Structure 1
Amino acid sequence: MLSKVMGTALTLLTSTFIAASAFAQDPATFVYADAGEPSTIDPAKANVNWEFTVTRNVYDRLVDFDLDDPSKLLPALATQWKQEGTAWTFTLREGVTFHDGSPFDANDVKATLDRLLKIGQGQAYLVDDIASVTVVDPKTVRIETKAPTVFLASNLSRIEMIADEDVAKHKDDLGEAWFSENANGTGPYAFVAWTRGTQIELKRNDKWWGKFPAKPFDRVLDRFVADGANRARGLEGGEFDLANFVPLDEALRIGGTSGFHMIEGNNLWAWPAIYLNMDLAPTNNKDFRNALVKAFDYSAMVQSFQGRAEVGRGPIPAWFPGSPEKGAPEIKTDLDAAKAALAASGLANATMKCSVPAGFPEFRFAATVLQSSAAQIGVTVEIEEAPFVEAITAIKTDKSNCFILGNANLSPQDATKFFSAHYLKGGFYNSGKFFDQRLQDLVAKLPTVEDPAERAVLLKQAAEIVVDAHAIIWTARPKTVVPEPDRIGGYRIDPAEYINARFWELYSKE
């Protein structure tokens, strides 16, 4: 009897395993292992990778960013646009419908932007310079900005368009409850179901205005797999067709095995970056901050990414349009210069605290590198690891001298949005309380300058102001490394995006 039960159980287990493996490799279904479960799928509030996994694929934008050339924008829901002073006019694509069958028009654009600005979360900072949105006719919308800005179209390449009817139906709370767990876009994939704790299911929109590759996936299962080792094992074993945030060691190993190839690309800005508190002693001393910047062991950080990283030379990466990065001086470890700067500060044998958001091994490692580097010049660094909100609150309330985070910007062309968030007064990520009136003035002026060459000059000046303040230690700028099965094609890394997948570009090679 026992052997019969065991035999039955073994048969069931074997059948389940075979079914799961075959299911992942069904040419019509794509299974994606995401690193977390969304807290919302509202495009007005989405702000992390696993939320963008859904919103970027379900909704469309007025314009798209050209991944092959960051200086170019491509038509999407808008086919034409022009700027006249503070006024932008967008001509909308004909024949576009939402997933529920309702037509897309200018009223949807107005409803989307008005709602986003009222909520003021997520990506709202990209378009907070909008003063008003006017419907000219069903296929024409005019957007007025508070001041002239050449970057509006570029920043709209990140703003997903929702339906005016959906906003009207759920107007009591601006639709926050409904949009948080429902989706109705015009994009390449339509929302089907959300199984809490497990997955979100999408289906291909065969009425999409855009173009799919040959052999696209008709069904997408966005699985929530919190453990990186499980994502790696599932990818390697065929349970998943692609996985987000596979640990680097595993990614390199899997990408080098038979049946896989490696995709590498630019990452968002710098990761990790160490913000130094300019209000609290001893980091309120510029020479002391300079000593920390010079003492830091950058090679240790690059080696931690197994050589797939470089040291940033400032806040703006080389791929960004108009970036001064390539011509900027290298930032290197120089203990003699560090000791000289420390002597000039008059703060020998100083002690400082560094707050580190928990759950990020790269952040913790950067803190330990700072600790050991500072020790070489006689400075003591005490590390305090805490949840993100507590960690960033510690430096903002002057209970810590440093905070570790990444430098990021979702705009593909507008560096001022990055400066606004990280280095201007009131910026949420300006945890070191950086302030320089010259930078404030430059950031205000940059969007008004039409000549790219002149903007590049101003951008260089802005970057130099930040670098010269020694307020940030850019520990490394790593590459994104993604192992892709040979049976899958089309995956690309967006250099101005959180790491996720553009499902409409993926296809089966089987």
Structure 2
Amino acid sequence: MRRILILGVVAVLALAGCGGGEVRDTSAASLPTTKDATFVYLDNLDIVTDWDPATSYSNEIVAMQNIYDSLTVYNPNTRRAGPRLAERWQTSPDGRTWTFTLRNGLFFHTGRPVDATAVKASIERTRRLGQGAAYIWDAVQQITVKDPLTVEFRLKYPAPLDLIASADYAAYIYDTQAAGSGDLGKWFQQGRDAGSGPYTVASWQKGREKELVLRAFDKYWGGWEGPHYRNVEYRVTPDLNTSWQLLLRGEASFVERLNPALFQKAKATAGVRTLQVPSFQNMLVLFNTASGPLADIRLRRAVQKAIDYNGVIAALKGAGTQAAGLVPEGLLGHTPALKPQQDLAGAADLLHQAGYGPGGRQLELTLTYAQGDDDEQVLVTVLSSTLAQLNIKVDARAMQWNAQWNQGKAADPAKRQDIFVMYWWPDYADAYSWFLNVFHSATPVSFNLTYLRDRDVDAQIDRLPSLLATDRGAAEKAYADLQRTLIEKEAVVAVPWVLNYQRAYLGNVQGFTDNPAYPNVVFVHELIPSG
């Protein structure tokens, strides 16, 4: 349930800066050829913060999804779960019993077989540790090994276990015997892996520019026939201009995100491919409903109406698409009718009712956002300027993620902010993650940074997994109703945009597609290196 570091990662994805250095064309003749067989991924942050697949909840997803497998994988084309370690599965009519059948001949990197017993052991350990996204397994009551290739899950309530099993975190299947009689958690943290994916750890140098190198696992069930990258390097380059130059020189294969100016350069550069795609990641503007001036719903609604949604999108220059509700397009529950519009007259009227606004008292609000995030800075600049016209003074504080989050969780309500700006994406391809993590009551405060405590809302959220498993039509209506409650009735949040990923990669990399359920992951085994 916790996203301690992942939001910090997200918050600085847009670190930007143009200028500096000559931009030259990269011709096909200068690009690496298939004989190099090494894919070089550039990130602007440290790759690994947690090596344990049970508790991992951070940037290491970009590597982990190439090291570990889950039972299923999300298919963005069908919008359903597809086979991975499990080649097929079935569920009972009531959605409370799920049976998964594994592929034959699966092996962990440790040499031990991936069988039903290993599946049971890894999921039970993840549940027992209860960290990261382990909550995805909350519906599970019992796991039973039916035979070496068949594992049965009995649930406390109906839930879409095929989709849950494709989650980007906490769904990894791993060898729980890898450390022998030693401490498995400590064994992992030394830079070891116990996965079954196409690549295994070759070297890890914490804090180094070339932090992580993976090599091909020859017994990978997906096979190595035909051209494949046999090695993967993850390099840390905090400055995007440096990343851009490395790509131009052919020293890197892929840059996960560029700012709009560099992306435009990439689009015009020979030998470089670009891809801009919508994500499942959106920007949340969370209002403090429990203390401070925004405990008055009229003032929350006024700020909602004051946001220049169209102006912010224009200023982002392609890096974002206007949101419609909390649920991005492509997920069940997306509600196009919830696209917000600026209404300054309505905002002024609400402020007047509360004794503020033009001709009234000045309203003072504190706002926190991610330090170094150009996109969030755009939002804060536009919003502060607009609110100033309505006699609202915004004390906007750019902060490192941990400091921002700690202030939001402060035990003393007087120390909390009025407006908390952050990104969010789902832990698996369903909107449940937004509702449970951000808007469900929780003590102590974690990510429910609107501090909303509403038993009716909680009850509606708690019903979502069962509805998704048994009645998708009812689930879609429930998602739409919840969004209207949170955005329109309770006015606890504004959602200005959904992030567009802007990728740049070498022209000799073929077969790359972006799966929004696995943010910033390149599934390297699926790529084809060419001359």
The verdict on a shared fold, with TM-score over 0.5 as the criterion, is: yes
Mapping for residues 324-403 of structure 1, pairs under 5 Å: 324-326=334-336, 328-348=337-357, 349-397=362-410, 398=413, 399=415, 400-403=417-420
Q: Distance in 1 between matches of 2:31 and 2:215?
A: 19
Match status 1:242 vs 2:254: yes
**1:231-268 Cα deviation digits (max 9, x unpaired):** 12111221101112232321221132111222121213
The aligned residue for residue 279 of structure 1 is: 290
Match status 1:229 vs 2:229: no
Deviation at 1:277, TM superposition (A): 0.5
For residue 293 of structure 1, what is the amino acid of its counterpart? Q
CA contact (8 A) 1:24 1:241 kept: no
* Match of residue 465, structure 2, among 443, 447, 464: 447
Deviation at 1:63, TM superposition (A): 0.8
Match status 1:459 vs 2:468: no
CA contact (8 A) 2:116 2:149 kept: yes
Q: Distance in 2 between matches of 1:361 and 1:404?
A: 13
Q: Distance in 2 between matches of 1:438 and 1:211?
A: 50
**1:98-143 Cα deviation digits (max 9, x unpaired):** 1232111112112211111122222213223323322222212122
Deviation at 1:210, TM superposition (A): 1.9
The aligned residue for residue 494 of structure 2 is: 473
For residue 429 of structure 1, what is the amino acid of its counterpart? F
Q: Distance in 1 between matches of 2:461 and 2:33?
A: 48
Distance verdict in 2 for CA 1:429–1:187, change over 3 Å: same
The aligned residue for residue 15 of structure 1 is: none
Q: Distance in 2 between matches of 1:24 and 1:281?
A: 60
**1:291-311 Cα deviation digits (max 9, x unpaired):** 111111223321232144222
CA contact (8 A) 1:42 1:179 kept: yes
Q: Distance in 2 between matches of 1:31 and 1:24?
A: 13
Deviation at 1:214, TM superposition (A): 4.1
The aligned residue for residue 327 of structure 2 is: 316
**1:171-217 Cα deviation digits (max 9, x unpaired):** x4xx2221122112111112111123122111122322125684211
The aligned residue for residue 494 of structure 1 is: 515
Q: Distance in 2 between matches of 1:66 and 1:276?
A: 34
Secondary structure of the 1:122 match is coil
Q: Distance in 1 between matches of 2:135 and 2:267?
A: 37
Secondary structure of the 1:166 match is coil
The aligned residue for residue 162 of structure 1 is: 174
The aligned residue for residue 156 of structure 2 is: 146
Secondary structure of the 2:375 match is helix
Match status 1:215 vs 2:227: yes
For residue 357 of structure 1, what is the amino acid of its counterpart? A
Match status 1:117 vs 2:134: no
Deviation at 1:368, TM superposition (A): 2.4
Distance verdict in 2 for CA 1:390–1:473, change over 3 Å: same
Q: Distance in 2 between matches of 1:226 and 1:213?
A: 36
Aligned residues: 480
For residue 124 of structure 2, what is the amino acid of its counterpart? D
**1:61-86 Cα deviation digits (max 9, x unpaired):** 1011112222x211111122222343
Q: Can you give the 5+ residue segments of structure 1 that lack an aligned partner in the other structure?
A: 1-20
Distance verdict in 2 for CA 1:249–1:45, change over 3 Å: farther
Q: Distance in 2 between matches of 1:318 and 1:446?
A: 18
CA contact (8 A) 1:314 1:463 kept: yes
For residue 509 of structure 1, what is the amino acid of its counterpart? S
Q: Distance in 1 between matches of 2:431 and 2:121?
A: 27
Q: Distance in 2 between matches of 1:388 and 1:460?
A: 30
CA contact (8 A) 1:252 1:483 kept: no
Deviates more, 1:196-205 or 1:361-370: 361-370
The aligned residue for residue 13 of structure 1 is: none
CA contact (8 A) 1:213 1:506 kept: no
**1:288-336 Cα deviation digits (max 9, x unpaired):** 0111111112233212321442221211112113x2422x143111111
* Match of residue 300, structure 1, among 295, 308, 311: 311
For residue 462 of structure 2, what is the amino acid of its counterpart? A
CA contact (8 A) 2:325 2:339 kept: no
- Point out the structure with the larger helix share: 1
Deviation at 1:503, TM superposition (A): 0.8
The aligned residue for residue 452 of structure 2 is: 434
Secondary structure of the 1:409 match is coil
The aligned residue for residue 13 of structure 2 is: none
CA contact (8 A) 2:457 2:482 kept: yes
Match status 1:107 vs 2:117: yes
CA contact (8 A) 2:316 2:378 kept: no
The aligned residue for residue 178 of structure 1 is: 187
Deviation at 1:416, TM superposition (A): 1.8
CA contact (8 A) 1:266 1:493 kept: no
For residue 436 of structure 1, what is the amino acid of its counterpart? D
For residue 409 of structure 1, what is the amino acid of its counterpart? P
Q: Distance in 1 between matches of 2:317 and 2:232?
A: 33
Deviation at 1:269, TM superposition (A): 3.0
Distance verdict in 2 for CA 1:221–1:236, change over 3 Å: same
CA contact (8 A) 2:110 2:178 kept: no
For residue 405 of structure 2, what is the amino acid of its counterpart? I
* Match of residue 406, structure 1, among 410, 423, 433: 423
**1:453-482 Cα deviation digits (max 9, x unpaired):** 222111111111111122112122131111
CA contact (8 A) 2:321 2:497 kept: yes
CA contact (8 A) 1:58 1:187 kept: yes
For residue 367 of structure 2, what is the amino acid of its counterpart? C
For residue 506 of structure 1, what is the amino acid of its counterpart? L
Q: Distance in 2 between matches of 1:130 and 1:167?
A: 26
The aligned residue for residue 90 of structure 1 is: 100
Distance verdict in 2 for CA 1:68–1:220, change over 3 Å: same
Match status 1:131 vs 2:144: no
Match status 1:269 vs 2:281: yes
Please, what TM-score do these two structures have when normalized by structure 2? 0.86
RMSD: 2.1
Deviation at 1:378, TM superposition (A): 0.9
Deviation at 1:22, TM superposition (A): 7.4
For residue 462 of structure 1, what is the amino acid of its counterpart? L
CA contact (8 A) 2:200 2:216 kept: yes
CA contact (8 A) 2:366 2:419 kept: yes
Deviation at 1:425, TM superposition (A): 0.8
CA contact (8 A) 1:213 1:507 kept: no
Secondary structure of the 2:265 match is helix
Mapping for residues 409-420 of structure 1, pairs under 5 Å: 409-412=426-429, 414-420=430-436
CA contact (8 A) 1:355 1:392 kept: no
